[in-house]
Amino acid sequence: MPGSDAFDLRQFLRGDGRNAGVWIALAALILFGLARYENFGSAYNIVSFLNYNSMFIIISIGMCFVIMTGGIDLSVGSVAAFASVVAAYLSPYGIEVALPGGVLAGAAFGAINAFCIIAMRIPPFIATLATMLAAKGGALVISGAQTISVDWGSNFTKLGMEKAFNILPWTIVIVAIVAIVLWVVLEQTSLGRTVLAIGGSEDASNLMGLKVNRAKVFVYLLSGGCAGLAGVFLASGFGAGQPLEGIGWELSAIASVVVGGTLLTGGLGSVTATVAGALLLGLVFNILNFENGRGTISLSAYWQMVIRGGFLFVVILLQTRMNASRQKAG
Amino acid sequence: MHSLLSMKGIDKAFSSVPALRQAHLEVAPGEVHALIGQNGAGKSTMIKILTGVYRRDGGDVRFDDKPADISNPGQAQKSGIATIYQELNLVPLRSVTENVVMGYEPRRLGMLIDWRTAHRRTREILARFGIDIDVRAPLGSYSTAIRQLVAIARAVSLDAKLVIMDEPTSSLDDREVEVLFGVVRELKNSGVSVLYVSHFLDELFQICDRVTTMRDGQTVAVRSIAETSKLELIADMLGRNVEDIEAAGMTDLGGGEKQLGDVLLEADGIATGRRLFEFDLSVRRGEIVGLGGLLGSGRTEAGRALFGVDALTAGEIRLKGKRWAPTGPAGAIGDRIGMLTEDRKAEGIVPDMSVRENMTLALLPRLSRNGQIQTGRERQIVEEYIKALGIKTSNMDQPIRELSGGNQQKVLLARWLATEPELLILDEPTRGVDVGAKLEIQAIIRQYVDRGFGVVLISSEFEELVEGADRIVVLQDGHSVATLENPGITEDALVKAIAHHHTGEHA
């Protein structure tokens, strides 16, 4: 990092200043949880919560980059499922092979997306809808529509259990590293700024000689690769490659990104706020589980989804209101 | 005098910075009233208060003999105030008729839309303006001029008593402007008032009755057009004496002894698939070469070809004596050519990005080390250019969309100057920019060529070309047809060169 610039915490948290809502909601939810449930703040709950949500966080970050260019990637859920099967097949060779293998499988779908969108000029929505179906079909074909058990003898399943440096599970550490690297890419590099410029005005970006296509290839490869990594986490955490998983993940990811203040039209966005968005969405389930655990209410998984939807709505409303008042003041 | 609209003692502040101070504006029934002033003078704020976009902090608004307390644009429309925006708020994919009647469709049996009546009514209104087009075709298939007239037709169909036009002619060519003026006169004859906001002072003398001038949030003069002069209006806008301005001259591109250097760029019979068929040009160091011609003559296309946006289908370009094959904007920038595009909104600014980010986008390759932006250097460069070009911004991290048009244009100019191109192609660099900023931008361009660089200046303003360019290449239907040399070019000579070849070609 250039030495002349001090790290600006406010900018780090705030991104473009549009996403105060997500941080407030996240803080409120955490405080609520801490006040109401005894074990909410326990190390066990925190670690297992982060561990489980690492898949969604990683997919949301990839999605965030795609959306910032004004695109969309609907294929992430099926690609994760496909990659989980690939990783399960590769698990006997150990994590050293299965992890890159799963990521590459995801990135391969990202490459197909990039090719369709950039070279063939198919709108992202359509192109990634097609790869979504293709990846889902592909996952069923290579798995024979069965869950593929991982090799429990190898070190593959330790990804989600063994702790790195005896502190945190590897999944969480990997997610943290990816998030930090991509935050730097977005905030500090010309690639990141090109991504935002494309979303702001693709014509202008082209006429300024920015490497528009290269940046677009990057975001789709990244999104595919992130989905692949999520697939690896899935296989490792649940002990099996799951061809039928991943349904609706793309929508959760888009929700996390939007809650994080990223514009669906592109041009504005934040990695940190996207992570916060993903955490927020996960936390709603976590809290509902605690509430069920108290025995005062008993909500089925279906009702939990309804509540999460309502909560999402409230946060986005809060977000828009705050932006509106901010613009009036400015 | 009896007024249709009367705004008195209007105050408005944005986060305690006053934008309007005791401003006033009166429009008589059936009057075409001009509202002028530099960017940031308060014109838009005044209009936005009138149309309910902003709430005033103080003052009185009366419209049509009633106190008007308009709190949103819909209410303004209902009370008879229609606004024709610069960026038209119409739906290009739907038909002309739909755009005119949307929200007020004639009904049959209380439910179904009566399309036959809708089409007929739309045709009638457009016919009043002397326009005969297929009203069933999508609006987007017509030119900006037609779209603008459709917007006016919509306003008229809603029984507007006051039509506000914000820079209506900025994207029209001469003939289209004439049609628009016809419409304005027709509105006036039928008793509708027009509030006309424009930077083109010449226009005001053709169609306006009175003019209100604003400066720094205040109304500084209300004059009858018949009893004033262009110079007087400029003096009002700038807050200076008429004599001072006369001494300084109107356009600042010219002046200074020319010392021309080597030939920088030569184009020989180049053509692209986009309305450019045979175009010759040479630019020397220290020279501003103007491209003149009517809208659609291939001026912009010539610029795009030189910048490598459109691929050549014939001809060749030599850069500094060597044959040069354009490969696209990135390649051109690498070879130190820059281009400021005509359409600032669509092809220039990235609206949500800050002034700083917008300014350094084209510079990123040189600002980054291993892909990482050197933010310290970035801020330093931006700081320099903000100072050098006098860009008015609260700070460099302010979103560019919050700046006035003139300041946005300066940021874009800075974007290119920072890359230090040897050849800079400027397409309408002062369009939609107020008089003060225009002079400043022209001075910046002159300083730049004086450092031994070359400029290709594309402009639809004859005055800017005649006074600013060292040479003018005249284009017509995608061909370069004549070259005029300064000193000695007059506006008349340029108009004749354009007109002569026009008649010659088609005779």
What is the pTM (predicted TM-score) of this model? 0.72
Residues in Cβ contact with A53 at an 8 Å cutoff, skipping those fewer than 6 apart: A278, A279, A282
At CA B132, angle to CA B129 and CA B138, rounded to 5? 110
The parent domain of residue B358 ranges over 264-502
User: What gap in Å lies between CA B89 and CA B127, rounded to an integer?
Assistant: 22
With CB atoms and an 8 Å threshold, state whether A197 touches B347. Answer: no
Residues in Cβ contact with B474 at an 8 Å cutoff, skipping those fewer than 6 apart: B292, B293, B480, B481, B482, B483, B484, B494, B497, B498, B501
Proportion of chain B above pLDDT 70, given as a percent: 92
* CATH number where B62 lies: 3.40.50.300
Asked if residue B501 has pLDDT above 60, the reply is no
| Residues B226 and B284 grouped into a single domain | no
Substitution target in A1, A4, A207 with the highest count of B β-carbons within 10 Å is A207
pLDDT at residue B86, rounded to an integer: 60
Name the nearest CA neighbour of B69 among B346, A53, B79. Answer: B79
User: What gap in Å lies between CA A59 and CA A79, rounded to an integer?
Assistant: 10
Q: What is the pLDDT of residues B421-457, one digit of tens each?
A: 999 999 988 877 777 778 888 888 988 888 889 999 9
Asked if residue B506 has pLDDT above 70, the reply is no
Residue where one domain finishes, among candidates B243, B276, B306: B243
pLDDT at residue A3, rounded to an integer: 36
| Residues B18 and B54 grouped into a single domain | yes
Chain B residues closer than 8 Å to A196 by CB: 350, 352-353, 357
The answer to whether position A80 is within a domain reads: yes
The answer to whether position A125 is within a domain reads: yes
The parent domain of residue A282 ranges over 9-329
User: What gap in Å lies between CA B90 and CA B100, rounded to an integer?
Assistant: 9
Q: How far is CA A278 from the centre of its chain?
A: 7
Range of lowest pLDDT (A187-196, B14-23, B205-214, B493-502) = B493-502
pLDDT classification of B88: cutoffs 50, 70, 90: low
Asked if residue A32 has pLDDT above 90, the reply is yes
User: What gap in Å lies between CA A223 and CA B299, rounded to an integer?
Assistant: 42
With CB atoms and an 8 Å threshold, state whether B373 touches A330. Answer: no
With CB atoms and an 8 Å threshold, state whether A189 touches B368. Answer: yes
The answer to whether position B105 is within a domain reads: yes
**What interface predicted TM-score (ipTM) does this complex get?**
0.72
Q: How many CA atoms lie within 13 A of B166 on its CB side?
A: 16
Name the nearest CA neighbour of B355 among B396, B407, B413. Answer: B396
The answer to whether position A93 is within a domain reads: yes
| pLDDT mean over A26-37 | 93
Number of helices (H) and strands (E) in chain B: give both, helices first: 18, 24
Chain B residues closer than 8 Å to A191 by CB: 371
| Residues B391 and B362 grouped into a single domain | yes
What average pLDDT does chain B have?
A: 84
Asked if residue B221 has pLDDT above 90, the reply is yes
Q: How far is CA B320 from the centre of its chain?
A: 33
pLDDT at residue B247, rounded to an integer: 54
| Residues B304 and B402 grouped into a single domain | yes
Residue B427 is encoded by which pair of tokens?
A: 């397409």
Q: What is the pLDDT of residues A81-134, one digit of tens each?
A: 999 999 999 999 999 999 999 999 999 999 999 999 999 999 999 999 999 999
The answer to whether position B191 is within a domain reads: yes
The answer to whether position B416 is within a domain reads: yes
Strand locations in B28-116 (E):
32-36, 58-63, 66-67, 81-84, 107-108, 112-113
The answer to whether position B294 is within a domain reads: yes
pLDDT at residue B105, rounded to an integer: 79
Nearest to B371 among A4, A190, A263 (CB): A190
| Residues B105 and B183 grouped into a single domain | yes
Residue in this structure with the two tokens 């809603």, named with its chain if needed: B158
Say which residue, B324 or B172, is predicted with more confidence. Answer: B324
How many angstroms separate the CA of residue A208 from the nearest CA in chain B?
5
pLDDT at residue B1, rounded to an integer: 55
| Residues B314 and B234 grouped into a single domain | no
| Residues B404 and B444 grouped into a single domain | yes
Angle between helices A20-36 and A301-329 (to 10 degrees): 140
Neighbours of B167 (CB within 10 A): 17
Residue B485 is encoded by which pair of tokens?
A: 């040399």
| Residues B233 and B318 grouped into a single domain | no
Peptide bond into B487 cis (omega under 30): yes
With CB atoms and an 8 Å threshold, state whether A200 touches B352. Answer: yes
User: What gap in Å lies between CA B218 and CA B42, rounded to an integer?
Assistant: 7
Touching B: A residues 249-268, CB under 8 Å: 263, 267-268
| Residues B129 and B160 grouped into a single domain | yes
| Residue A196 CB burial class (10 angstroms; 0-12, 13-18, ≥19) | buried
| Residues B317 and B458 grouped into a single domain | yes
| pLDDT mean over B470-487 | 86
Proportion of chain A above pLDDT 90, given as a percent: 58
pLDDT classification of B246: cutoffs 50, 70, 90: low
Give whole-number Cα distances, B12 to A151, A326, B36, B116, in Å: 71, 18, 18, 46
| Residues B183 and B312 grouped into a single domain | no
Q: Tell me, yes or no, if A14 comes closer than 8 A to chain B by beta carbon.
A: no
Smallest CA–CA distance from B55 into chain A, residue: A328
* CATH number where A154 lies: 1.10.3470
The answer to whether position A4 is within a domain reads: no
Chain B residues closer than 8 Å to A204 by CB: 341, 346-350
Domain count across chain A: 1
The answer to whether position B252 is within a domain reads: no
pLDDT at residue B218, rounded to an integer: 92
Asked if residue A57 has pLDDT above 90, the reply is yes
The answer to whether position A3 is within a domain reads: no
Domain count across chain B: 2
Asked if residue B252 has pLDDT above 70, the reply is no
| pLDDT mean over B487-494 | 79
Residue where one domain finishes, among candidates B210, B243, B276: B243
Give the helix ranges, DSSP H, for B5-160: 43-50, 73-79, 96-101, 115-128, 144-157
pLDDT classification of B272: cutoffs 50, 70, 90: confident
Residues in Cβ contact with B207 at an 8 Å cutoff, skipping those fewer than 6 apart: B32, B181, B184, B185, B196
| pLDDT mean over B332-351 | 86
What average pLDDT does chain A have?
A: 88
pLDDT classification of A15: cutoffs 50, 70, 90: very low
User: What gap in Å lies between CA B69 and CA A155, rounded to an integer?
Assistant: 73
Strand locations in B120-262 (E):
162-166, 193-197, 210-215, 218-224
pLDDT classification of B503: cutoffs 50, 70, 90: very low
How many angstroms separate the CA of residue A196 from the nearest CA in chain B?
8
Q: What is the DSSP letter of B261?
A: -
pLDDT at residue B284, rounded to an integer: 92
Asked if residue B222 has pLDDT above 50, the reply is yes
| Residues B110 and B44 grouped into a single domain | yes
Residue A300 is encoded by which pair of tokens?
A: 């089925």
Which pairing describes strands B32-36 and B210-215: parallel, antiparallel, or unpaired?
parallel
Nearest to A208 among B362, B375, B377 (CB): B362
The answer to whether position B239 is within a domain reads: yes
